[in-house]
Amino acid sequence: MRTLAAFALSTAAIAWATPTMAEPLRIGIIESLSGSQTSTGRLYAAAVQYGVDLINANGGFNGEPIEVIEYDNAGGSTGAADKFRQAVADGVHIVFQGASSAVAGQITEDVRRHNIRNPGSEVMFINVGAEAMSLTGEQCHFYHFRYATTAPMRVNALVNAMAAAGELGTRVFSINQNYSWGQDMQAAIEAAAAAGGYEVVEAVLHDVNTIQDFAPFVARINAADPDTVITGNWSNDLLLLMKAASEAGLDVRFGTTFLDQPGNIANAGDTALGHYLANNYVPAAGDPAFAEAYAAAVGHVPVFVEPPTIFAVGALGLALADVDFAGGEIDVTEIAKALEGVTYESPVGPISVRAEDHQTIRPVVVSRVARGTQYPVDDTDLGFEPVSVVAGPDAIYPVQASCEMERPD
């Protein structure tokens, strides 16, 4: 009798509770939040949180504030696979990640398999920084969106802007890290040669973040006598390369893609002066209101991977405004379809999704390291001075033939 009463009571409680409990949208960030790559992982997490706070300040979604859950992938794809399953167990609808193409490769496959096995409770992956071409190539699928640039976008913008400024020259040296990103960069540098009016005098691939002394590479650069060195190197590989070049008194321009990683300018100092950077955004470009608002909330102007992440969450916010589940169950497929149609106005230009491969068509900002800029970085007197903003349609490349996307009905 007592169990029956308890049962009736609990049923009543559930019946009473259900109508008031709308399903909150859950966003999972699967990043490296411990270990050597923590600093970058933190930037992604902070930027997602900031973007979601903005949406929540406007009433959230589905009648509830959007929940953000952080997962530490411990720096590797095995950890990411693990945390993806945890995220699914926690009811996460949308996964954000960006710091590593290897991890993104794992997550995008996990998402694809999850969606095949669990029709009706799909999960979506918003990639905010993993730039490997394969993610929108042979690995592409409907539930993966890349809100970041890729190697050809960065290189094309860099080459055009440097040529327009008369600083590119006709001899380009390509030096990159020997893995997919570096190989993509090298391919992009070689592909842009005809349009940029230069010759690739030498293309070098080297080990990733293990080289302590770049002097031998600098000697090769010196021997090839280039006007410009274009490199996709990041972290130590960029820093040590630039230092070795400056110590050897090499007189070349560097065209880079990750010079804005926090700490790089502080480490490089005046060595960095006059070098170029192609990325998603620098605070001195476009409407300063965006940078100021972020600085007021977080304590610094958005740098490195933060701007593209905030843009992605902003675009997601627009997509959410287009769908309405009336407080009921959330259908991720509807959100994904809405996101395809969204154009987000970033401070440097519109960002939209290309339906064929879910790569975003987005502006690329080319800037130059200069003294006395409006937004100095790393507590130095150096900063990034915008040279040109290449509009999305000019920076984009054709859809890769390897992408065969199956769309849901």
Give the interface segment with other proteins, choosing from 28-36, 358-366, 367-375, 386-394 (CB under 8 A): 28-36
The Cβ of residue 333 has, within 10 Å, a number of other Cβ atoms equal to 17
Among 37, 40, 62, 106, binds other proteins (CB under 8 A): 106
Per CB under 8 A, which of residues 314..373 are in contact with other proteins?
none
* Binding flag, residue 299, other proteins (CB under 8 A): yes
- What is the three-class DSSP state of 67? strand
* Binding flag, residue 405, other proteins (CB under 8 A): no
* Binding flag, residue 110, other proteins (CB under 8 A): yes
How far apart are CB 408 and other proteins at their closest, in Å? Answer: 18
Give the interface segment with other proteins, choosing from 68-76, 154-162, 211-219, 383-391 (CB under 8 A): 68-76
* Binding flag, residue 109, other proteins (CB under 8 A): yes
Q: Which two tokens stand for residue 104?
A: 């993104």
Q: What is the DSSP secondary-structure string of 331-383?
A: -HHHHHHHHHT-EEEETTEEEEE-TTT-BEE--EEEEEEEES-SSB-TTSSEE
Contact map string, positions 216 to 255, toward other proteins, x by CB under 8 A: ----------------------------------------
Q: Which two tokens stand for residue 296?
A: 């007021």
Per CB under 8 A, which of residues 165..224 are in contact with other proteins?
178-180, 207-208
- What is the three-class DSSP state of 281? coil
Q: What is the DSSP secondary-structure string of 174-188?
A: EEEESSHHHHHHHHH
CA angle at 129 for the pair 93 and 395, rounded to the nearest 5°: 120
Instruction: Return the sign of the alpha-carbon dihedral for residues 376, 39, 298, 31.
Output: positive
Q: Which two tokens stand for residue 219?
A: 């000697």
Judged by beta carbon, residue 33 or residue 353, the one nearer other proteins is 33
Beta pairing partners, 384: 369
**Residues binding other proteins (CB under 8 A):** 33-35, 38, 46, 69-72, 74-78, 81-82, 85-86, 88-90, 101-102, 105-106, 109-110, 113, 116-117, 132, 134, 139, 178-180, 207-208, 297-300
